[in-house]
Structure 1
Amino acid sequence: MSLGIVLALLALIVGGRSALAQSPSSPTGQASVIVDASRSSWTMRNDHVSLTIGLGADGALRMLSLGSPATTAVKLDTGADTFLTIDGQPVPLGLRQAGFTFIGQTTSDHPSGVELALTFSLGARGLVATRHYVVHSTSPVVEVWTTVTAADGQSAQLSNLNAYDLTLPPGTVSWITGLQIAEADGGPFTSRRQQPQPGEILRIGAAGRSSETAIPWWSLDTGSLQLFGGLMWSGAWSVEFARDQGTLRASLGLPDSPTEVRSDVPLEMPHAFLGVTQNDAFAVSAAMQAFILEGIRHGRPFESPVVYNTWFSYGTRTDEEQIRDEMERVAALGVEVFVLDAGWYLGGGRGAFFDFEEGLGSWQADASRFPKGLASLTDYAHSLGMRFGLWVEPERTSLSWVNQPGLARDDWLVTSGGRYDPGLSNEEAKVGQLCLADGRVRGWMLERLYALIDGVRPDYLKWDNNRWFNCDRSGHGHGQGDGNLRQVEGLYAVLDQLRLRYPQMLIENVSGGGNRLDFAMLRYSDVAWMDDRSAPSLFVRHNLQGLGTVFPPAHLFAFIMGNASEPLLRADDLSMLARSRMPGVLGLSVKTRELVKDELELLAREIAHYKRLRPILQEGSVTLLTAQVPRSASVDWDALQVTSATTGDAIVFAFAAPEAPDRTTVRPQGLDPAATYRVESIDLGPLGVATGADLMSGGIELNDATASDAHILVIARQPAGSAVGAPVR
């Protein structure tokens, strides 16, 4: 809403509330907004969620209740919905005593639902703040954010950018740790739970990239239902849970982040989300899957191709001849995308085996190693029935290329305290980070990306970011304290343009592993690399079991590969290595010429199994059937289930540790009790037919009758009226 429209509305509205009666219920598909002028409230709803928002007697905007048909509504009316911190003073949005005036509401169609916008003016400061809510048609989740604009000649300093400030019932808070959490503290991507006691404050967040220390997501088990939420953001963030005697206050947003709002620099704060389900893990995972597919990706499906990557086998020592040879071999296995990782550029491959920073930022293929050019590799992959992918790290550059014609300039680089790398002197530093807050940098970067992509024609782009510093350098379009905020906004601006220009190109999100694994990047990327420690298999299963409860399994990526403790070559149980990666996106990184015939044939069979399972994985949500497997040595079975949102079919993946008991019983969850299901083992074939009720109560017994300690069961829903067969064993 422009300031001119705001001022016109101010002239027409007396007391601010008459606007409530001017907008009726606004349905879009299954989503609608219902206005109650007598209560100064709005109810946003679909078949799965209902959120009521209202103006208090003091004018402050409040979330009043949140519920769904399957749950009792939770009252949220004891605190403000959100606040603005202006010049260091936090003020509840809408509070008349602070000078806010309610201007009015607008409702509009959204790509997947309906949007409600409530607008307030802070006349003394020349500011207009709009609170936005979106309810999507088919998920029990509400999306919410705030925009702030300033009148001509006006400005204000905002900080502690708040996404929402909620008063909730007390309960147990759950979250997932980030990539950089030490093993002594549970390690990366571990599900954690804590019940804050009266007077206790629980703080979770990250200071640089979004998932360095925690995933920007939380849930609350109140005993009768599950509330959950998160932030769609790729930079620094925090959530604080403060417990008093009868309530739990949850405040989510960006810590510090002082930033200036001017007429030419409006602010759109990070989008957040809030949802509610019945009290079981299956419901939360299914709700997140529905929200991600509909509300974040707007229907763009996950392809989950089988991907080969050169990195862990070849490092930077790649050339045209060996890549073509590897392409031929992996195409025969059933690989669908071949990715040439770091080191392909001029200056690459001259240092250590994994030294990808040498030559980074030249933007030119090394003609001595790739004389026919990279586009010839794209063509060759296509001739073999595969697609071609290419690694890039556009956000950084080797300092040796800085100020070279057509390449990055020194005054575009991030500095923190005057240093390119806070841990090194500038004379010691070898690599610099580009500040994407600077419009010049974004324009140049897009030109380089367009030239590269148009020339090579890759079908898949692996976008990496291996280091991150918050910029405090002047002249980049940000202030001393909001370098993180503006860098992330700049990243999104670049990715928006890439998506528009190359809508069919798959993008892999990598950030030195999973340092930037979040719900905003899900909008732009199709595959997310979890962890460079992609072996042993136990690590991969741990990561998938932690992350898979909130992210779609068809988005989470790991390689079949070996390490010193679990070699791939002549592996005792190669199927275990392959199947441990199958609950996500299946990748492979090995020199296949070192594999013997039996190993190649087994890998081809396992890839074929994965392709058969993939339709369920592509739209499935994850439920753990055991506790999350520890990253340390396991002595038991671990199992998870992936369930299709469309068909109700499910896959159970179960893995026996070397010291585990010979047999176990797995009990599927979330099946239709009255429906009939056919159960099949990937290795043994059909096991029987049973009702959902019987499978969930009696379970399925697994034992060591198969050659592998990795078991896969397909549970297929049968047409109505199908007969129940012998007990499933």
Structure 2
Amino acid sequence: MTVFHLRAAGTSLVLDARGAAAVILHWGPDLGDADVEALADASVPAVPPSSIDTPLRLSLLPSLSEGWSGRPALAADGRFRLVGAHSQDDSMVVRSTSPDATQEVFTQLALSPEGVLRVRHRLENRGAADVLVPGLDVLLPLPPEASELLDFTGLWSHERQPQRAPLRHGVWSRESRHGRPGHDDAFLMMAGEPGFSFRKGRVWATHLAWSGDKRIWAERSALGYGVLGAGELLAPGEIRLAPGESYETPWLVAVFSDTGIDGLSDRLHPWIRSRSTVRLPRPVVLNTWEAVYFNHDLDVLSELVTAAAEVGVERFVLDDGWFTGRRDDKRALGDWTVDSEVWPDGLHPLISRVHEAGMDFGLWVEPEMISPSSRLADAHPSWILGAPADPAGSGPTWRWQRVLDLGDPAAYAYVRDRLTDLLTEYPIAFLKWDHNRDLLTPGTAHRQTRALYRLLAELRAAFPHVEIESCASGGARIDLGILDLVDRFWTSDTNDPLDRQSIQRWTGVLVPPEYLGGHLGAGAAHVTGRTSALGFRLATALFGSAGIEWSLTAAAPPERAAIADWIAEHQRLRPLLHSGTVVRADSADPAHLLHGVVAQDRTHAVFALVALGSPAAALPPPIRFPGLDPDRLYTVRPIGVPPRVVQDAPPAWLAAGAVTLSGRVLAQVGLPAPLLTPEQALLLEITTG
């Protein structure tokens, strides 16, 4: 055994596998061609008074029995002994065994060319008796300078709300018991130098690639060590391993950046894209929910199809209300056959009109749920997750529905077969896959999540042309565990552009924009009731996987013309928006945001200057554009719907219609900002030459 050194994209990982336990000596800035064995020899710490009599080192599987009094990796504490380690390409595998050799843990560590570190454990039962797994987590070391935390909370339609706090002695722990990540998902836990921002500071971040219950935490111990940790949150008795069986943890995805939060995205986005099966270009979508709700009438929908085609929509998605007995949200989930009363000829007439209009067709489903008032529940009450003899004992309903037990082989087969029937009978290109409630049934999240992954994988294999969107009452299931099985996320149920600016900004730190659905809603937002200008709504929905959630038949002709121009502009810019580097400027005034996408060769960029509220001063801060080549000349010009301003005269460069300056000047000095009124956005395109 030896000392291993993985290097990629400005990141180093050094692991000492020479002693009784494997130890990560360094995860962070690139160490170059360092003599890592000399580093390992020099890294043995002192022995302080009133402590164990040997140097305390934070191992891959730290435990109380080796002197670690922080949160252990394996909840059933026991000291595992290192018995082997080997490397292959950009990864390594470390093998550890329990003192009685009845349990073995294989730890896999992989560093991608983009600098993304992934770590997971596999626990194997080598004994003759069953083994209960109360929890098995991955821990990574955190240096002392990483003393400020940023993670997320939220609620329905207000996901990914950032929260900051200093990391003091003790544990800052975030746990999800929703059976899905939830609207309050910690999402991405960042620890960095005090005051780290989008463009500045060293930052270490972790995300658990898992769609069920989980915990993610940071800890600073009085013993001198800091850690970031995460793992699946298991209920007592949830995982029992028979002899010969194993349990594998979800991947912990970890990233280091020495250029602030944007540096995390600079590694995560290319890595995700390197694994992606998403087909580009991403079609512009019209979803019918906020247009017709449950009013499924062929004539009404046909008018909407015509209006959608006229403005350039490329995909028409029929939302909730198409299946047997589904006239409101209180019944019929599970009865996945087309309602013959509403659709006497099935969905064929509507799909034919969609195709004739030059669009493909998508359909809303919620396969993991069941309505107590449904034919399926009447026929198979035992398929309800956690269903006891007394139905009230399975917890309260949520949105008038319960959860279908996908761990039941018969229930699983039923859902798979009904979806297969639909996808076989109808030319469906897209499924909007919803999940509108928490499980609220202890000890079921692991089995339910694994069954969901298996179901999605089966359907993708059988229907590789069908794209799937992960929607969970909005953005309650956005994670890298499900990302390999879906093609799009519904970022949030709110289309209010003011809320969306923050939600999209922070969700996009982890997930590339082409995965994030962002739709143009009506003037009065469905969720908040807030009224927004059309230009602000269009600018907000331009970035990402664009779409419309609005009855276009009610839009005035000038609005439709503006929407058609917006779609054409999005289609023109789409190759850039869905492949470039996402950048976010730091601003001295929180009322003003600047974000954009810069082409990989830095010849083209699009930015949005957004006024969330009133500025702190009569003249807002200058617009400074990050991410450009400092030695190139760029021309900056406005595009899109002109925003509303209150000013006696615009800045000179904007009055001229364009300006040409070097990337260095645009980044360091910037341009005077126009005086946008609150809830307005100015779109700027930047080109070379």
Q: TM-score range by the shorter chain?
A: 0.7 to 0.9
Which residue is 1:135 aligned to?
111
Letter in 2 for 1:436: L
List per-residue Cα deviations over 1:28-76 (Å, max 9, x = no partner). xxxxxxxxxxxx222223344321222253x212212123449999999
- 1:666 paired to 2:623: yes
Tell me the distance in 1 between the aligned counterparts of 2:391 and 2:607. Answer: 48
Alignment TM-score, normalising by the size of structure 1: 0.79
Q: Report the secondary structure of 1:436's partner residue.
A: coil
What CA deviation, in whole Å up to 9, does each residue of 1:62-121 have, x standing for no partner? Answer: 2121234499999998412235899xx98768x99836451453637xxxxx44222334
TM-score, structure 2 normalization? 0.84
- Specify the alignment match of 1:520 in structure 2: 481
User: In structure 1, the residue corresponding to 2:494 is in which secondary structure?
Assistant: coil
Matched, 1:676 2:633: yes
- Judge which range, 573-582 or 219-228, deviates more: 219-228
Shift in CA distance, 566/492, structure 1 to aligned 2, threshold 3 Å: closer
- Helix, strand or coil at the partner of 1:124: coil
Which of 433, 458, 466 is the aligned partner of 2:428? 458
Q: Which residue of 2 aligns with 1:17?
A: none
Match of 2:14 in 1: 52
Contact 1:561 1:568 in 2 (8 A): no
Summarize the alignment of residues 54-69 of structure 1 with structure 2, pairs less than 5 Å apart.
Answer: 54-55=16-17, 57=19, 59-69=20-30
2:130 maps to which residue?
155
What is the percentage of aligned positions where both structures have the same residue? 22
| 1:107-143 CA distance string (max 9 Å, x none) | 37xxxxx442223344736333211122222x11111
- Counterpart of 1:175, as a letter, is L
Q: 2:568 is matched with which residue: 605, 608, 617?
A: 608
Matches of residues 197-596 of structure 1 in structure 2 within 5 Å? 197=168, 199-208=169-178, 209-222=180-193, 225-244=202-221, 246-258=224-236, 259-263=239-243, 265-294=245-274, 297-298=275-276, 300=278, 303-349=281-327, 355-401=328-374, 409-415=380-386, 431-472=401-442, 481=443, 483-535=444-496, 537-562=497-522, 564=524, 573-596=533-556
Q: CA separation in 2, counterparts of 1:284 and 1:383?
A: 44
* Whole-Å separation in 2 of the counterparts to 1:385 and 1:328: 10
Q: Any unmatched runs of 5+ in structure 2?
A: 45-56, 195-200, 641-653
Say whether 1:98 aligns with 2:73.
no
Count of residues paired in the alignment: 640
Aligned equivalent of 1:188: 159
Alpha-carbon displacement from aligned partner over 1:541-574 (angstroms, at most 9, x marks no partner): 1211222222212222232113647999997731
Q: Aligned partners of 1:705, 1:165: CA distance in 2, in Å? A: 45
Q: Is the 8 A contact 1:226 1:278 kept in 2?
A: yes
Secondary structure, in 3 states, of the residue corresponding to 1:286?
A: helix
Distance 1:316 1:664 in 2: 47
Map 1:11-26 → 2, pairs under 5 A: 20=1
Retained in 2: the 8 A contact 1:674–1:693? yes
1:690 maps to: 661
SS of equivalent to 2:16: strand
**How much has 1:662 moved relative to structure 2?**
7.0
What is the letter of the counterpart of residue 424 of structure 2? D
> In 2, distance between residues paired with 1:214 and 1:571?
28
Contact 2:186 2:216 in 1 (8 A): no
CA distance in 1, matches of 2:532, 2:365: 36
Change (3 A) 1:263 1:328: farther
Letter in 1 for 2:266: A
The aligned counterpart of 1:27 is none
Alignment check: 8 A CA contact 2:593 2:609 kept: yes
**Counterparts of 2:77 and 2:403 in 1: how far apart (Å)?**
44
Offset at 1:379? 3.3
Q: Which deviates more from structure 2 when the two are superposed, residues 386-395 or residues 448-457?
A: 448-457
Inter-partner Cα distance in structure 2 for 1:70 and 1:694: 32
Residue type matched to 1:681 in 2?
P
After the TM superposition, which segments of 4 or more aligned residues of structure 1 sit over 6 Å from their partners?
Answer: 70-77, 89-93, 416-419, 565-572, 705-708
Contact 2:335/2:376 (<8 A) preserved: no
Assess if the C-alpha contact under 8 Å between 2:523 and 2:533 holds in 1. no
Supply the distance in 2 between the matched residues of 1:597 and 1:538 (Cα, whole angstroms). 25
For residues 523-553 of structure 1, what are the alpha-carbon distances to aligned partners after superposition, in whole Å with 9 as ceiling and x for unaligned? Answer: 2222211222222x21111211222222212
Q: Could you list the per-position Cα deviations for residues 386-436 of structure 1 after superposition, in whole angstroms to 9, with x for gaps in the alignment?
A: 1111000000112233557xx97222221288776778668x995321122
Q: Say if 1:638 and 1:656, in contact at 8 Å, map to a contact too.
A: yes
For the 8 Å contact 1:68–1:276, the answer to whether it is kept is yes
Give how far 1:705 is off.
9.3
Q: Which residue of 1 aligns with 2:54?
A: none
Residue 549 of structure 1 aligns to a residue whose secondary structure is: helix
1:644 aligns with 599
RMSD: 3.7
Instruction: Provide the residue aligned with 2:686 in structure 1.
Output: 715
Q: Equivalents in 1 of 2:538, 2:511: separation in Å? A: 21
